[in-house]
A and B are shown apart, each in its own frame.
Chain A
Amino acid sequence: MTPETITPAKVAAPRPSHQKRRARAAETRAGYGFLTPWLIGFFLLTVGPMAASLYLSFTDYDLFGAPEFIGLENYRNLFDDPRFRQSVVVTVTYVVIGTPIKLAASLAVAMLLNAKRKGLGFYRSAFYAPSLIAASVSVAIVWKAMFIDDGIVDQVLSLFGIHLGGWVGNPDMTMPMFVLLAVWAFGAPMVIFLAGLKQVPQELYEAAEVDGAGKVRKFLSITLPMLSPVIFFNLLMETIGAFQIFGSAFIISGGTGGPAGSTLFYTLYLYIRGFTDFKMGYASAMAWLLVVVVGIITVIFFRTSRSWVHYAGESK
Chain B
Amino acid sequence: MTRRTIKFAAVGAALALGLTACGGGGDEGNDGATGDGGTLDPEEEITLTVTWWGNDDRADRYNQAIELFNEEYPNITINPNFSAWPDYWTARATEAAGSALPDVMQMDLAYISQFGSRGQLLDLDPYIGGELDVSGMPESLLASGQLESGTVGIPQSTNTLALFYNPATVEQLGIDAPTADLTWDDYDAFIAEAAAAGAGLDPVLYGSGDYTGVFWMFIQHLVQEGNEVFTADGEIAFTEDDVRDWLNRTTDLRADGSLFPTDRTVQLAPLGGFTVNEVASEFSWDNFLAGYLADSGAESIEMLPMPLGSSGERGMFQKPSMLLSAGSNTEHPEAAAAFIDFITNDPAVGAIFGTSRGVPATESARSELSAEGTDAQVIAYEESVAGDITESVPTLPEGFGSIEATWLRLAEELGYGQITVDEFVERWFAEAESALA
CA distance A294 to B19 in the complex (A): 13
Closest Cβ of chain A to B92, distance in Å, is: 9
Chain B residues with Cβ below 8 Å from A230 are: 1
**Does B413 count as interface, using CB distance less than 8 angstroms?**
yes
Q: Do B10 and A240 have beta carbons less than 8 Å apart?
A: yes
Residues in A214-253 with C-beta less than 8 Å from chain B: 229-230, 232-233, 236-237, 240-241, 243-244
Task: Please tell me which one of the listed residues B6, B19, B120 contacts residue A50 in the complex, with CB atoms under 8 A apart.
Answer: B19
Are B10 and A236 closer than 8 Å at their CB atoms?
Answer: yes
Contacting pair B2 A65 (CB below 8 A):
no
Task: Answer yes or no: A311 CB below 8 A from chain B CBs.
Answer: yes
**CB of B427 within 8 Å of the partner chain:** yes
Contact A276 B89 (CB under 8 A): yes
Question: 17 pairs across A/B with beta carbons < 8 Å?
Answer: A5-B4, A49-B19, A49-B22, A52-B23, A64-B26, A64-B120, A233-B1, A233-B9, A236-B10, A240-B10, A243-B17, A244-B18, A256-B409, A260-B416, A275-B89, A275-B90, A278-B93
Q: Give residues in B with beta carbon < 8 Å to A.
A: 1-7, 9-10, 13-23, 25-26, 86, 89-90, 93-94, 96-97, 114-115, 118, 120, 262-267, 269-270, 402, 405, 409, 412-413, 416, 418, 427, 430-431, 434-435
| CB-based contact B6/A233 at 8 Å | yes
The one of A66, A67, A171, A256 that contacts B416, using a Cβ cutoff of 8 Å: A171
A173-203 vs B, Cβ < 8 Å mask (1 yes, 0 no): 0000000000000000000000010000000
Q: Which of B6, B13, B19, B263 contacts A53 (CB 8 A)?
A: B19
Nearest CB on A from B396, distance (A): 15
Q: Is the CB of A241 within 8 A of B264?
A: no
A3 B2 Cβ-Cβ under 8 A: yes
CA distance A284 to B22 in the complex (A): 10
Known: A233-B6, A302-B7. A53 touches B20 (CB 8 A): yes
17 new A-B pairs (CB below 8 Å) besides A5-B4, A63-B94, A280-B22? A46-B15, A52-B21, A52-B23, A56-B21, A64-B26, A149-B267, A166-B267, A169-B266, A233-B1, A254-B270, A255-B86, A258-B409, A259-B416, A275-B89, A276-B86, A278-B402, A311-B2
Which one, A9-17, A99-107, A128-136, A285-293, is touching chain B?
Answer: A285-293
Interface presence of A168 (CB below 8 A): yes
Min CB distance, B90 to chain A, in Å?
4
User: Does A295 sit at the interface, judged by CB under 8 A?
Assistant: yes
Chain B CB within 8 A of A26 CB: no
The contact of B14 among A165, A232, A291, by CB within 8 Å, is A291
B-chain residues with CB within 8 Å of residue A77 when the two chains form the complex = 434
Q: Assess A1 versus B5: contact at CB under 8 Å? Given A52-B23, A256-B409.
A: yes
- Do A229 and B405 form a contact, CB below 8 Å, given A56-B21, A169-B263? no
Question: In the complex the two chains form, what is the Cα distance from A46 to B19 in whole Å?
Answer: 8
B418 neighbours in A (Cβ, 8 Å): 171, 260
Q: How far apart sit A93 and B93, CA to CA, in the bound complex (Å)?
A: 32
Q: How many angstroms between the C-alpha atoms of A169 and B267 in the bound complex?
A: 5
Known A233-B1, A233-B9, A311-B2; judge A280-B21 contact (CB<8 A): yes
A258 and B20 contact, Cβ closer than 8 Å, known pairs A1-B1, A63-B96, A148-B267: no
Residues of B within 8 A of A165 (CB): 263
5 shortest A-B CB distances, which residue pairs? A169-B263, A64-B118, A53-B21, A49-B20, A66-B25
Q: Is the CB of A63 within 8 A of B93?
A: yes
Does A158 count as interface, using CB distance less than 8 angstroms?
no
- State whether A278 touches B114 (Cβ < 8 A): yes
Q: How far is the CB of B275 from chain A (nearest CB, A)?
A: 16
Q: Which residues of B contact A280 (CB under 8 A)?
A: 21-22, 97
In the complex formed, the residue of B with least CB distance to A42 is B15
**A residues near B5, Cβ cutoff 8 Å:** 1, 5, 233
Please count how many residues in chain A sit with their CB below 8 Å of the partner chain's CB atoms: 63
Name A82's contact: one of B15, B89, B115, B427 (CB within 8 Å): B427
Taking CB atoms, residues of chain B closer than 8 Å to A5 are 2, 4-5
- B contact residues around A287 at 8 Å (CB): 17, 19, 21
Most chain-B CB neighbours within 10 Å: which of A149, A196, A277? Answer: A277
Q: Are A276 and B90 in contact (CB under 8 A)?
A: yes
- Cross-chain contact B413 with A260 (CB below 8 angstroms): yes
Which residues, 146 to 178 on A, are CB-close (under 8 Å) to B? 148-149, 165-166, 168-171
Contacts of B89 in A (CB 8 A): 275-276
Contacts of B265 in A (CB 8 A): 169
Q: How far is the CA of A5 from the CA of B4 in the complex (A)?
A: 10
B12 vs chain A, min Cβ distance (A): 10
**Nearest CB of B to A74, in Å:** 12
A113, B409: Cα distance in complex, Å: 46
Can you name the residue of chain A whose Cβ is closest to the Cβ of B90?
A275
Residue of chain A at shortest CB distance from B93: A63
**Taking the nearest CB of chain A, how far is it from the CB of B435, in angstroms?**
7
Residues of B within 8 Å of A62, CB to CB, are 114, 118
> In the assembled complex, which residues on chain B have CB atoms less than 8 Å from the CB atom of A82?
427, 430
Question: Is the pair B93, A275 in contact by a Cβ cutoff of 8 Å?
Answer: yes
Q: Is A298 an interface residue (CB 8 A)?
A: yes
Q: Are B120 and A298 in contact (CB under 8 A)?
A: no
Assuming the A-B contacts A255-B86, A276-B402, A298-B10, are A168 and B267 also in contact, with contact meaning beta carbons closer than 8 angstroms in the complex? yes
Report the minimum CB–CB distance from B359 to chain A (whole Å).
30
Report the Cα distance A284→B97, complex, angstroms: 15
Q: Which of A62, A83, A229, A259 has its CB near the most chain B CB atoms (within 10 A)?
A: A259
Query: Are B118 and A65 neighbours in the complex by a CB distance under 8 Å?
Result: yes
Alpha-carbon distance between A233 and B409 when the two chains are bound, in angstroms: 39
Chain A residue at smallest Cβ distance from B414: A260
**What's the nearest-Cβ distance from chain B to residue A143, in Å?**
13
Residue in chain B with minimal CB distance to A174: B266
Q: Which of B14, B115, B412 contacts A294 (CB 8 A)?
A: B14
